[in-house]
Structure 1
Amino acid sequence: MYNNKFYVVQDGEFVNPNTNHLFSNGLDPKDFIVNQDGERYNFVGFIFNSEKILISFPKHSFSSTDLEKLPQNSVMLNKYIRILFNCIKRTVNNRNDKYVGIRNELNSDYPFIDFLEVYKYYKRYGLFTNEKEIKKFGYAGRISWKDTMNKSPKIINNHNLLFLPLIIKENIEQHVFISKCMAYVIDSTLERFSLFLEGEKTNLHTRDIDFSNTSLVITQLKKVKRTLFKNIHQHLVDSLISFFEQEKTKGGNYQLKIYSFHLIWESMIKEYLRTKFYGLNDRLEIEWSDSARNNHFEKKVAYPDMRGMNGFSIEPDYYLILNNKRYIFDAKYYQKLTKLDYKQVAYYFLLKHFETNRDVNGNIINELETYNALILPTEYEIYSEVHFELNPEYNVNESKFVIMAYYLNTLKVMEHYTNAN
């Protein structure tokens, strides 16, 4: 890692032609998006090209000045590289089906998912060991009387029947083939991707196995799996088999590209709201608190269509009713907010009288105060602005309908996400 040269870009920023040339064999057409104002990067992640490494951070992680200085600040660069990968890893560990795409992206060029499963087993149980009981002739140890009487020679001495020598039982733990496969997966991956992976190597000797012969390794693992009975051990072997089926020896050329970072942004914002949202002040600014815990913001699925579940539905990202107030927030992983978010307008009007207290005749007893907002990334400190304010000339019943835009510092949200419980 210390001999590598780093190139740092940012998702959504204009393409650097010189950087593109250096990593031309690792960049694909889908890594860019072309707008009327030019060509921009369209991914988050890493490209390893021998001793050159390209890192693409999320939108609005750094100002252009800070981004330019980052490759020369190895301490800060290393810190934010690890935070970025841990954000990806934490989202991938969420078993929600919506993150299947991110799992596939993480695993597209190297079997990181299988490595993480193997390493999780290692951290919990250690290397796989097979405890085997052996029996041998001897005089020190735990005597197996049944085997001694059945198998030892019988000797009569002074009219006494003796069984000599005794058979001693001894339990030994043997490192088996599975252990060495685990060690190879863990140690080689940690070494190869030390840039962003943190962990403990096993340092187990594995040179007696030719891991380049993947077909033989996979065949052996399948044989061993048939001798195992516990699900946890079978799952471990499945992860090892999957790793060797996907591992490709490509020298120093690897890629880890995430095209679905908007889903990670949604997950990070949910965690931020859950643990830090305190409420809104009179200026409709969010008040944050480190003492706030477990605000039950949820992705709300509602069916305003008369056909109910057979009709159209709406799904705000974050929905919360608290103290007679309704919060309808939506995460937007945008480079810039340039157009009216019609969807957020629809959420307000379609949900305005939903879940309100009514009397027996269906009349509303007290109406919920509804607050509507978009949450976006910024490289600056937290700030807010009005995205849309309805002119009452267009709707006399809505004199105070406002959609706010809240901008949260990208790096702070990422760091909080990786540290939150």
Structure 2
Amino acid sequence: MWMESLQDLFFFIDEEGVFYALDLGGTNFRVLRVELGGKDRGVVHQEFAEASIPPALMSGSSDALFDYIAEKLASFVNDEERIYEQPAGKERELGFTFSFPVMQNSINSGTLIRWTKGFSIDDAVGQDVVVEITKALKRKGVDMRVAALINDTIGTLAGGRHSDPDVSVAVILGTGSNAAYVERAQAIPKWHGPLPKSGEMAINMEWGNFRSSHLPLTEYDSAMDAESLNPGEQIFEKLISGMYLGEILRRVLLRLAEEACFFGDEIPAKLRSPFILRTPEMSAMHHDTSPDLKVVGDKLKSVLEISHTSVKKRRVVVELINIISSRGARLAAAGILGVLKKLGKDVSKEKTIIAMDGGLYEHYTEYRKCLESTVFDLLGDATGTSVVFEHYVDGSGIGAALIAASHSLYLDDKF
């Protein structure tokens, strides 16, 4: 079973050599070259390049999207192999991190169920994404085999677990959000196949699609969901992730402008543009410590074309930002606590590492601080000291390369 090969091998990789990874998780993607030095040395070296996906490709055709990605990958491979030459006769192998809902059919095949995070490419839905990227690689003349298909959360879990066996949970907080954890195979009622040798399996939660009547949805959330490309889906993600926080703020500011003339008699035209206010701008305003909140004033002017705001109004904007980001961080913390409770880690004295990755967690300091402090508050003094957050930079990409290596090793052993 492919699940067995994944779970039994990605923690104990003896493979040496160079493996590539393609990490597509949102509006940006990364390509990586990871050099492995065997079991004792682990990841010896890594290089990466990052590219943004043009908005037109997010709602175009499958061929256009994957051709663009393959072009960037080809350029990266050519640049890297001026330094590192692929051994003769050895095929390049790629770990493909694809962080959208798929029906996984094997370790290197999966059918796209639906798009999230602003993508809407109809002809890709129902297709095997490994087949699609493989065709694009051939069209662009790239000699490379997709050895493993994973999502960013499983990649971060694999990369973290490979570095430290105390890693039990992985959480992505970036454009979107998801979580995964290591579970005892006997505790999985849906699993009916042979048990893995390790006795453990990785559970991909897809928690972004969680919804409940207990979630604190506001009219702004409901309106944003109704007008989104995927109404009724990814509700939890729309409350906590980087793609949506800035848009929630924009909608609140628009309501203030409409009903309270908050920015004057005229409603700023830019405030009516969906997603014009992104979470990075929101984060920059939240982190403004200047006496007159100059960064807040500058962002309102440059992004929304709102000039001459008073310090008092800037303080209101910062307070709104704090409310929206704190709600998102606390909800994410509640999700993490739920996973810890499922594993019995909320009452355990044993060290538990939560592997974190994603731009929201990495760059939005106030969000990160609120998330972590909320988890520790919920755990209480008795257990909080045994839970540790670790940020794994490029965790999902490195994990994809590691799983590609483990699957390569698995094939060598079996066949």
Q: TM-score, normalised by structure 1?
A: 0.30
Which structure shows the bigger proportion of residues in helix conformation? 2
Rg comparison, structure with higher value: 1
* TM-score (norm: length of structure 2): 0.30
